[in-house]
Structure 1
Amino acid sequence: MGVETRSAARVSNYTKFWHKSSKDDNEAHRSGRLEKYTDLVNGYYDGATELYEFGWGESFHFCRFYKGEAFIQALARHEHYLASLLNLRPGMKVLDVGCGVGGPAREMARFSDATIVGVNNNQYQVDRARRKTARAALSDRVSFVKGDFMKLSEQFGEASFDAIYAIEATCHAPTFEGIYGEIYKCLKPGGLFGVYEWCMTDAWDPSIPEHKEIAHGIEIGDGIAEMRTLAAARKALKAVGFEILHEEDLADRPDPVPWYYPLEGDILKSQTLWDIFTVMRMTTVGKFFTQNAVWGLEKVGLVPKGTYDVGESLKIAAKYLVAGGQKKLFTPMALWIVRKVCFRKTDRRLVLIT
């Protein structure tokens, strides 16, 4: 474990962005989080990245599960599904927005043979992504850069990618319109954008205290300045100019194995023998030993100060993600496939470019 690209100050200040009680977390708190979303997200991932890798692997996202399907296999299938909907293929230049440590980018590059660039505003994750990709002998097709969600077109140029995707990452942006607008600019005319978005569902009502508490718990536990709704995401995609080709909440499918089962800590729900170890980490005993190990590592300086507190936030995340999933108030996989529609003038006519 290294701390060379992490900020102990950011990690230790992370939990200060919220009021602990959802009843008392007000507009001033929310505005402060949105204004300093870069510090918030970096503080979270500086502390949470290795905890994510320990508990979840290299792909920091949820997915659907089939009966008997291994955890790692299900994650890969989720990524393959998105790659297939985007029609990724050899020769395409693709942007992964919010790439984490590069697990999905590497998997989707293997699946499609496309060239993928991952962008992330957390340098620690970028460094880890590069090392893991070099070990996988994929550096010729998968690369990673540090960048700001809200300045993608400045960094990469307009119309620079054949396709773009984001897997449970754009919820960290201060506004949907801002991030989707930047993605729109970076796509070539007719290019596709696919996103698995974190949203509160149509059943969520912020005037109901329990509903507000669930959204607040997800925010604190997952480094999100403000949870938004399905309607807000849909409206933003249309507002910036995208044509919606496919829309579905994959969490709403009647799957016998729910997407949140690994977070429940119920070993009896493990789908394979190996997955017992994944689920075990989310049991009361597993969380106790993990957090005590983190406490010890923090004391000797092997992880930044505040990592233990971020670990406590992850426990909050698990509680409210499961509650949101059980009550159908939250989805981590609202799927949209959208197209950049452009027109050009020719002989006094408007011609659609696809």
Structure 2
Amino acid sequence: MSKAGALDLATGLGGKIDKNDVLSAVDKYEKYHVCYGGEEQERKSNYTDMVNKYYDLVTSFYEYGWGESFHFAPRWKGESLRESIKRNQHFLALQLGLKPGQKVLDVGCGIGGPLREIARFSSTSVTGLNNNEYQIERGRALNCIAGVDQTCDFIKADFMKMPFPDNSFDAVYAIAATCHAPDAVGCYEEIYRVLKPGQCFAVYEWCMTDAFDPSNEEHQKIKAEIELGNGLPDIRLTRQCLEALKQAGFEVIWEKDLAVDSPLPWYLPLDKSHFSLGNFRSTALGSLITKYMVMALEKVGLAPKGSQRVQAFLEKAADGLVAGGKKEIFTAVYFFLARKPNFDDLSYVETTF
């Protein structure tokens, strides 16, 4: 079970950053972003530092408020948030056609919530690729608790330069992770390289939709808030992701923005106008309580200086995500399934639903 208490939140804040350096790390992180005068090219050039600082600063907040799986999911009426997240992880495993004993790669695995669920659901061995040392440390501890430490592990590495031989994996997936890549084509090419021919790559991607208008100031503000609050160098359009996949060599089997006909909106857990006892910490009242709790923990020295600032930009991110979802200019659940061609098999047919 994931840690959930206030003291656990406090002791984890800052990740592997020295507690005395958290405030300066927050300063540096914020300056990468448009809201604080940052430039897109600087974020892309320094994405490793930016994303690592982001996850050191926010992982404990994520785990405290969200559990072990840091992603959204399309949701049925009557279904809890955690049920929807598990169902969508199972859906991904089924789309990949996972079979017992296969070797699977989770690109940008966080603390391994999806990794553990998919490994148990499919009886596969899953390797989590992550460039953040603190998240890997947490993930290994949680793997031991879940009993998957003999079949699942983590590798610390940059997903733009994977330390695996060609054709290493039977399947690859990424959940709300490759959106951190400074170059989608380069990231997808690395995934293509390590995937065995004839096998598949599945993704839940974060994207701007075709409704996004770059000349609209409100749209730009929403995009900037999402980038700041989620450690993103930029946010690509769905069609840009699709084109990058093809440039990398993949055959697109099918793709769809799953937000379009979801019975409940993916952003509902963050919508402050919606109250839920099942996900109380992300409601307006729950967020207010967390805000004052973090303030108190920082004041008495249990949480490092700068913790309130992290909580503040995460609040801003939540507002941006909800606004982007409601205006349908952003989606956190763009799904695609792609295949690395097996050139002995020309039976591929592309379908868009």
TM-score (normalised: structure 2): 0.89
CA contact (8 A) 1:11 1:46 kept: no
Gaps of 5+ in 1: 271-275, 345-350
**1:185 pairs with one of 190, 193, 199:** 193
CA contact (8 A) 2:269 2:283 kept: no
Q: Distance in 1 between matches of 2:65 and 2:326?
A: 21
Q: Deviations over 1:183-228 (max 9, x none)?
A: 0001011110001100000111101111111111110111111111
CA contact (8 A) 2:268 2:274 kept: no
Tell me what 2:351 maps to: none
Q: Distance in 1 between matches of 2:304 and 2:342?
A: 47
**1:257 pairs with one of 259, 264, 271:** 264
Q: Deviations over 1:290-328 (max 9, x none)?
A: 122223334555444433212111111111111111111
Tell me what 1:151 maps to: 161
Gaps of 5+ in 2: 1-10, 349-353
Q: Deviations over 1:137-178 (max 9, x none)?
A: 1101211121101101xx011111010000010000111111
- Mean Cα deviation higher: 225-234 or 6-15: 6-15
Tell me what 1:216 maps to: 224
Shift of 1:44: 1.1
Tell me what 1:200 maps to: 208
Tell me what 1:6 maps to: 17
Q: Distance in 2 between matches of 1:317 and 1:182?
A: 29
Amino acid at match of 2:96: L
Shift of 1:257: 1.6
Tell me what 1:273 maps to: none
SS in structure 2 at match of 1:205:
coil
Distance 1:231 1:121, change over 3 A: same
Distance 1:118 1:59, change over 3 A: same
Tell me what 2:169 maps to: 161
Instruction: Within 5 Å, give how 1:303-322 maps onto structure 2.
Output: 303-322=303-322
Is it true that 1:87 corresponds to 2:84 in the alignment? no
Identity of aligned residues (%): 47
SS in structure 2 at match of 1:81:
helix
Instruction: Within 5 Å, give how 1:39-118 maps onto structure 2.
Output: 39-118=49-128
Q: Deviations over 1:49-75 (max 9, x none)?
A: 111111111000000111111221111
Shift of 1:282: 2.8
Q: Distance in 2 between matches of 1:329 and 1:108?
A: 30
Q: Distance in 1 between matches of 2:128 and 2:90?
A: 17
Amino acid at match of 2:152: V
SS in structure 2 at match of 1:291:
helix
Q: Distance in 1 between matches of 2:186 and 2:302?
A: 37
Distance 1:93 1:318, change over 3 A: same
Distance 1:302 1:118, change over 3 A: farther
SS in structure 1 at match of 2:332:
strand
Instruction: Within 5 Å, give how 1:235-274 maps onto structure 2.
Output: 235-253=243-261, 255-268=262-275, 270=276
SS in structure 2 at match of 1:188:
strand
TM-score (normalised: structure 1): 0.89
Q: How many residues of Structure 1 are paired with residues of Structure 2 in the alignment? A: 333
